[in-house]
């Protein structure tokens, strides 16, 4: 009966994952390998294709006037600089949306909403960037990443070429993702791993750690069983997945550093209020 | 609580807000 309960939990989290996240790993890998009936993604590999593809990027928060400013005869470098900033803002918009998706997913983890509300906030605040990095991995390969719900493929070289510190944000995530993708987790495994990350009892400032650890322990058992059944030939997969949590903490530290640098150097940039809440006093 | 206003709101709303 206990194993049955753990299987029910795995199924529940997988269903919630499918319900809350618009682009699954299965779909992303199909797009990346060209095995989908949908149109191939629009490829952004330089400033010209970014300018052309900008209309496809999910940017519903940008006011129209701002978009029109590009045609006002600015010199080339200013145009480019504005294009980069606009692109960065649309990334922020999508990230804020993803934060709300992750929050809904967290709320669906059995027992999560019964935790102290302040602890729920702390778990989301400290786990969010880690979760988003894991969710980004299936969209990436060594050459680039899908964005805008899989409609656009942006090359790694192009992202790297953006002016500092924009060009530095993604490179460590690519390095991580290429290795993480080698574990070949599927969407059902990912759902469990995300729940494990969210339920980390060692986040700074938690008021009541015990109930969080109890919940995490249960999801860990469920993940261990699920990985054994889902990947019978992959040795030590459970341990290998858990080891990735150490890399995630380093990635977050780097991310915070770059964002800090951006705050200092990019006077025109204002961070989305929800992302500000998450980044503020984070380590 | 004020510091994490939107997160609080997201946690307490039954559906994701559309104002993101």
Chain B: give the shortest CA distance to residue A122, in Å. 9
Say whether the ipTM exceeds 0.85: no
Spatial contact of A130 and A197, defined as CB atoms under 8 Å apart:
yes
pLDDT band at A86 (very low <50, low <70, confident <90, very high): confident
Chain A, nearest residue to B11 by Cα: A103
pLDDT of residue B20: 53
A159 vs A77, more confident: A159
pLDDT band at A124 (very low <50, low <70, confident <90, very high): very high
> Cα(A67)–Cα(A54) distance, rounded to whole angstroms?
10
Which residues between 1 and 20 in chain B have a beta carbon less than 8 angstroms from any beta carbon of chain A? Answer: 1, 3-8, 10-12, 15-17, 20
Chain A: give the shortest CA distance to residue B9, in Å. 10
Mean pLDDT of chain A, nearest integer? 90
pLDDT band at A7 (very low <50, low <70, confident <90, very high): very high
User: Alpha helices of A40-147 — where are they, by DSSP H?
Assistant: 47-53, 64-68, 76-107, 117-136
pLDDT band at A66 (very low <50, low <70, confident <90, very high): very low
pLDDT of residue A244: 98
Does residue B19 register a pLDDT over 70? no
Per-residue tokens: A281 = 């006093």
Per-residue tokens: B4 = 């994490």
Does residue A63 register a pLDDT over 60? no
Check CB contact under 8 Å for B6 and A124.
no
Spatial contact of A219 and A196, defined as CB atoms under 8 Å apart:
yes
User: Taking CB atoms and an 8 Å cutoff, what residues of chain A touch B5?
Assistant: 277
User: Taking CB atoms and an 8 Å cutoff, what residues of chain A touch B15?
Assistant: 104
Mean pLDDT score, A228-257 = 96
User: Taking CB atoms and an 8 Å cutoff, what residues of chain A touch B11?
Assistant: 103, 107, 113, 117, 120-121, 124
What Rg value do the Cα atoms of chain B yield, rounded? 8
pLDDT of residue A1: 58
């Amino acid at each position: 009966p206990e194993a049955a309960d753990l299987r029910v939990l795995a199924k529940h989290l997988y269903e919630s994952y499918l319900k809350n996240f618009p682009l699954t790993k299965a779909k992303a890998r199909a797009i990346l390998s060209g095995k989908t009936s949908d149109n191939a993604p629009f490829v952004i590999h330089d400033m010209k294709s970014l300018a052309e593809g900008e209309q496809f990027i999910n940017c519903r928060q940008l006011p129209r006037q701002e978009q029109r400013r590009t045609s006002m005869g600015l010199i080339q470098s200013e145009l480019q600089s504005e294009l980069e900033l606009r692109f960065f803002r649309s990334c922020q918009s999508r990230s804020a949306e993803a934060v709300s998706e992750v929050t809904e997913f967290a709320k669906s983890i059995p027992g999560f909403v019964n935790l102290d509300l302040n602890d729920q906030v702390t778990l989301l605040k400290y786990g969010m960037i880690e979760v988003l990095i894991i969710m980004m991995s299936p969209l990436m390969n060594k050459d680039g990443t899908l964005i805008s719900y899989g409609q656009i493929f942006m090359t790694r070289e192009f992202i790297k070429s953006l002016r500092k510190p924009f060009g530095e944000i993604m490179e460590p995530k690519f390095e991580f993702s290429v290795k993480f993708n080698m574990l070949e987790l599927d969407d059902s495994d990912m759902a469990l791993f995300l729940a494990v990350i969210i339920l980390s009892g060692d986040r700074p400032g938690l008021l009541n750690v015990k109930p969080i650890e109890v919940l995490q322990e249960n999801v860990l058992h469920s993940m261990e069983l699920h990985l054994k059944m889902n990947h019978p030939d992959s040795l030590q997969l459970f341990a290998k997945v858990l080891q990735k949590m150490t890399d995630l903490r380093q990635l977050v530290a780097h991310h915070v550093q770059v964002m800090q640098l951006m705050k200092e150097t990019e006077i025109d940039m204002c961070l989305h209020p929800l992302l500000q809440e998450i980044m503020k006093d984070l380590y | 609580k004020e510091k994490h206003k939107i997160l609080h709101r997201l946690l307490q709303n039954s559906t994701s807000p559309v104002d993101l």
